[in-house]
Chains A and B, each alone.
Chain A
Amino acid sequence: MFKRLLVAIGAVAATLVLAPAASAHDRYWGTDCGPGDYCELYNGNTVESGDHNNVVDPINLLWYCCGSWDPNVRHMLENEMGYDEDCTSPQANYRLVGDPSSQWWEGRDQTASRASGGCPGSRWHARVFLGHTHDSPVDNWSVSDSHHEDWTHDIDTTWQEAEEYVRERLAVVFGRSTTANYTYLPRAEGQWPAGGGYYNGWPANIYGW
């Protein structure tokens, strides 16, 4: 269904595959976003849906290019990662939303959620937050908070390992193009509760084509 680029398995740990356009390396807040501009804006963390003062998770995955939830990211999570459950608690992410004619900054709830198991029990889980849409869906992007929950519903795996788990699997098993440490998100960096540990704020990118 999708074209897949070959990736050298030995380079997975420090993949340096570049994004489509050199100017697109910087993924941070700017003011010149408009129709047709190549621009992605999002906070590096998620907040509680009902209380945006409560920070919950860091963003550790970017989906770009071709980062539309349906069909691209959905296909990767459901058919390649094996995440076919959608039980979740709602979270929000501040990001640029809208369409080619108009964009604005909003703390919007997740677009979707997929996990490797249901709510009781241990599982891998990732929420997906879709950004503003472009004229071409190839330019659409999403972000995620990949993590692992254990049998006491604690995060028991570091955010770095959870990032690498998705990136490794999609690269090694399915040959997708991925980039470690794609860009830096200030609000993603820090100490996170339970087993989440210390995250460096550099999420990986998964190329959705």
Chain B
Amino acid sequence: MTTLKKTASMPGRASVAAALVLVAVGVSLALGGATRANEATLPQTASSLWRGDGVVHARFVDDEGKLHSEEWLDQQTGATRKVEYDYAPRVTVERVTVRNGTTVTTWTSLTPSKRFVYEAVDAGDQRLLYTSYLLRPSRMFDLRTARVEGAGLLAGLATWKVVRNSPSRDVAGVYTTTMEVDQKTFLPLRYVAEAGGEKASLTVTSERLARTAQTSQLFTVPDGSWTYRDKRIRLGDLTGAVPFTVYGLGASYRGLTAEAPNLQEQKVETAQGFPIEPELFLSYSTTGSGIPQIQLQEHAAGTPDAQFRLSKYRSQGTARTAVILGAERTVYLLDADQPAVYFAVVVNDTLVKGRAAMPAAETLAMLASLREQR
């Protein structure tokens, strides 16, 4: 375990004294049995603590001493590069994730030219949360999806123990993860996961590198195009950004809030021999839940891809009718007798499909409320 090593000059006496006080406080908290964090000392914004003018290089090692992953963090821009090592028969696969601003690019060492690109519009986009183990604790804390549950001491460093607010489910009931972070930087020193009576951990060692032209290359993506692209678009900016007319329920519908639409494009073909066409996903959720109650999935209706999809609904589904934008249209429902139904309907030149967490009658009423979104 090493501390972050600054490449600048040695710290002065005041800094050393302050550090000793911090360590002493940490020891006092640990030895005194105090497990509750002193909220007065918690940062308002954890992400401000790791800022600096260098590059952090971290290694995550598991309990067997195997290198789980490495990360680099540009302390000035917040850009990250994560390399995960998947050890498997014959070939260890490296999976690379580079995040720069709100754009994420991933690829593997098996097919490095096949890029998955995600373009968010908000820094708080949930997809961005999964791009870095280094920044996970501070991001979750700032989003208030994790809290500090206590303080401790790890290899001489004062730590906060960060846990998510809602433990995940697992076969044994509860899965908990404790992210132990350096109080000075809010960067992790250890991840500890527990489930079903078993425990596993990742130990994090870090070094600080100077920010140079060479280290800056770590956060750039090699030349090349994307194979898969997901692009968030703000509601209201759809015209011109989506190659077909989008239909939705506005910014809100019956207490549900629209999430930023997502346009997905792929440069691939299907086994049937036609390309997968651009698709627009538009969901409505209870504010802050992240769980869509209504999902709309839309394509240009006249393509072979859309027609093939519609054919599945036709052959498997139950046909009903709904008046949408002044015209009676056939709606195909799957699971029509269930509390949640799947639906598909052609509205003018757009195929609108999806799922609604409501019975068939309410779903049809919802579809009757569709209007053009721009």
Contacts and interface: CB of A to CB of B under 8 A. Distances in A.
A195 B191 contact: no
Nearest to A113: B171
Interface in A143-182: 150-154, 156-158, 160-161, 164-165, 168-169, 172-174, 179-182
A107 B88 CA distance: 33
Contacts, number: 184
B211 interface: no
Residue with the highest number of chain B CB atoms closer than 10 Å, among A81, A119, A120, A189: A120
B177 A28 contact: no
A30 B311 CA distance: 12
Contacts of B315: 28-30
Given A173-B110, A194-B126, A197-B127, A202 B276 contact: yes
A124 B270 contact: no
A136 to B, nearest CB: 22
Interface stretch (B17-25, B236-244, B333-341): B333-341
Given A53-B340, A161-B116, A200-B279, A120 B268 contact: no
A147 to B, nearest CB: 12
Contacts of A53: 338-340
A121 B271 contact: no
B281 A190 contact: yes
A124 B316 CA distance: 32
Given A169-B110, A181-B268, A191-B281, A120 B86 contact: no
A209 to B, nearest CB: 17
Given A14-B269, A28-B312, A120-B175, A190 B116 contact: no
B354 interface: yes
Given A121-B200, A152-B136, A190-B355, A198 B191 contact: no
A81 B129 contact: no
A87 B196 contact: yes
Contacts of A191: 262, 281, 283, 292, 295
B364 interface: no
A103 interface: no
B266 interface: yes
Nearest to A81: B88
Interface stretch (B31-39, B45-53, B89-97, B250-258): B89-97
A100 interface: no
A179 B272 CA distance: 11
Most buried by A among B193, B199, B283: B193
A80 B90 CA distance: 8
B138 interface: no
Chain B: number of interface residues, binned into ranges: 35 or more
A119 B171 contact: yes
Contacts of B89: 79-82, 173
Residue from the set B95, B175, B270, B273 with the largest chain A CB neighbour count within 10 Å:
B270
A67 B338 CA distance: 31
B364 to A, nearest CB: 17
Nearest to A185: B312
Contact of B271 (A19, A117, A165): A19
Given A13-B227, A121-B193, A160-B228, 8 more contacts: A28-B315, A80-B88, A80-B89, A119-B171, A169-B88, A169-B93, A180-B268, A190-B295
25 contacts: A13-B111, A28-B312, A28-B315, A87-B171, A118-B198, A122-B84, A150-B130, A151-B133, A152-B164, A154-B168, A156-B130, A157-B130, A160-B116, A169-B93, A181-B270, A184-B270, A185-B312, A186-B334, A186-B353, A190-B295, A191-B281, A194-B130, A198-B279, A200-B264, A200-B266
